[in-house]
Amino acid sequence: MTKEALFIGIDIGTSGARAVAMTGSFDIRASGAARLDAFSANHRDPAGWWSAVQSALSQVLEQIDRKQVRAISIDGTSGTVLPVNSSGEPLAEPLMYNDPVEDSAILDAVAAYAPATSAAHGATSGLAKLLHFQCIGNVSHIIHQADWLAGHFTGLYDVSDENNALKTGYDPVARRWPTWIGNTGAHMEMLPHVLPAGVPISTISPKTAAAFDLPPSVLIVAGTTDGCASFLATGADKPGDGVSALGTTLTVKMLSDHPLFAPEFGLYSHRIGDMWLAGGASNTGGNVLAHYFDNGRIEQLSSAMDPKTDTGLDYYPLVRDGERFPENDPAMKPRMQPRPDDDAQFLKAIFEGIANVEQLAYSRLAELGAPKLRSVRSVGGGAKNKVWSAIRARKLGVSMPSVLSEEAASGTARLAIMGAKAAGLL
């Protein structure tokens, strides 16, 4: 009996690393996880990142036949950047995805030259961080978190992917670093070489293959950001497939057969294979629910609701003033009145209000040129509430398949499979 080939995806997040081994038919055979704080008290410590990745990967490898591993891919937090020398050694503490660059001259330079549709705008962009780091002595390249970790598998610390490079100014339509980046004063020779997500970088380095007792033929495949990996993990794979993340805030993403750019909504497109992933983030979501009720009370009140009927209340649930998407209005005020005496009715009206915002978000994507919505998969804590899901399904009017996985590492494993297919291994 021929043993099945296996493909490994690794996800490095804000609190730890996860890894999964997946078959070519997307079945998960093993998983592992490690917390960053088990290795370093500083979440910006690259050595801690690598230790967590080693631990999570080792756990997976202990559960499978290592000889069956064909490819590995890795994702990282979008916008996390660090300067390295020619050997890949970090030369300064990285700036994380949410760390702003506070030098106004740098921000002014980016604002002056970056096109409106570029994702390089803003104090937390990769380009701002490159300008911040480039004057450090002995810098060879300024790369992203996933690039640096992939470099531990390949020995190459000058390679990135199209998704991580987006916020550093990469043009995913022309598939190149645009010349305007140099006009900001950026040293363009420090930018990494960029490959499409899911394309092989190289085989594993002999040193790393020996360290993990892996075959020297294992491919290391260009990865992606954690957000893109989470989308891929759900199983959404056709134009018109949407994914709603019902967490602290509401985020909607959709696959499109062409790119969408609407900077006024913070909307950009990531290129994945022959498709594009676009989406936006609202300020509504679970933060509104948590403002009024704890989880136990939400569960209790939900059991008394009929999701097939409407309250007749027209809420736009927000905790504070301001909205980003599907409306771009920093002064928008919450619409949460009148409040019924019955808490169940009030909670139901909030559910309905967030569902209406979700429906409006997908309609906004359609107005901006997205394909017709064909399905919505749901992730996040809110997806577990059956009553809310029924209300959303009624308002969205499309199929709502269950997700294959909520693990970003599963999405990255899918890229490893894509890379193996590109190399003729599947």
The mean predicted confidence, pLDDT, of the chain is 96
- C-alpha triplet 221, 77, 90: angle, nearest 5°: 80
pLDDT for 310-355, tens place per residue?
999 999 999 999 999 999 999 999 999 999 999 999 999 999 999 9
pLDDT tens digits for range 41-62? 999 999 999 999 999 999 999 9
- Ordered domains of the chain (ranges, CATH): 6-228+408-422 (3.30.420.40), 238-396 (3.30.420.40)
- Count CB atoms within 10 A of the CB of residue 380: 19
**In whole angstroms, what is the distance from residue 20 CA to residue 7 CA?**
8
Amino acid identity at 293: F
Q: How many CB atoms lie within 10 A of CB 218?
A: 23
Query: Of 406, 383, 379, nearest to 20 (Cα)?
Result: 406
Q: Which residues contact 146 (CB under 8 A, 6 or more apart)?
A: 12, 74, 75, 76, 160, 161, 164, 223, 224, 225
For residue 91, give the nearest of 137, 30, 155 by alpha carbon.
137
pLDDT at residue number 3:
84
Instruction: Return the residue matching tokens 């991580």.
Output: 164
Q: How many CB atoms lie within 10 A of CB 312?
A: 8
**Over 90: is that where the pLDDT of 2 sits?**
no
- As a whole number, mean pLDDT of residues 12-22 equals 96
Cis peptide before 307 (omega within 30 of 0): no
Residue pair 57/412 in contact (Cβ under 8 Å)? The answer is no
- For 153-176, what is the mean pLDDT? 98
CA distances from 149 to 129, 145, 324 (A): 18, 6, 33
- pLDDT for the residue numbered 1: 39
Dist CA 57 CA 51 (whole Å)? 10
**Average pLDDT estimate for 226-254:** 96
Q: What is the pLDDT of residue 389?
A: 97
Q: Which residues of 17-53 are buried (b: 16+ CB within 10 A; e: fewer)?
A: bbbbbbebeeebbbbbbbebeebeeeebbbebbbbbb
Is the pLDDT assigned to residue 263 strictly greater than 70?
yes
**Within a 13 Å sphere around the CA of 394, how many CA atoms are in the beta-carbon half?**
15
Residues comprising the chain, all counted = 426
Q: Return the bridge partners of 18, or none.
A: 11, 33
Per-residue tokens: 292: 């009024």
Q: Which of 229, 227, 272, 243 is nearest to 403 (CA)?
A: 243
Task: Say which DSSP state 93 is in.
Answer: P
How large is the average pLDDT for residues 291-305? Answer: 96
Strands (E), 153-272: 159-161, 193-195, 200-203, 219-225, 241-246, 250-256, 269-272
Distance (Å) of CA 338 to CA 39, 257, 298, 313, 335: 51, 42, 20, 8, 9
| Residue 202 burial (10 A CB sphere; 0-12, 13-18, 19+) | middle
| Tokens describing residue 326 | 């599907």
- The predicted-structure confidence for 367-426, as pLDDT tens digits, reads as follows 999 999 999 999 999 999 999 999 999 999 999 999 999 999 999 999 999 999 999 988
- Residue 197: which of 235, 234, 238, 226 has the closest Cα? 226
Q: At what angle do helices 46-61 and 145-154 cross, to 10 degrees?
A: 60
Give residues with Cβ within 8 angstroms of 126, minimum separation 6. Answer: 79, 81, 120, 144, 164, 165, 167, 168, 169
Q: What is the greatest pairwise CA distance in the chain?
A: 68
For tokens 């008394």, the residue is: 304
Contact status, residue 52 vs residue 39, Cβ threshold 8 Å: yes
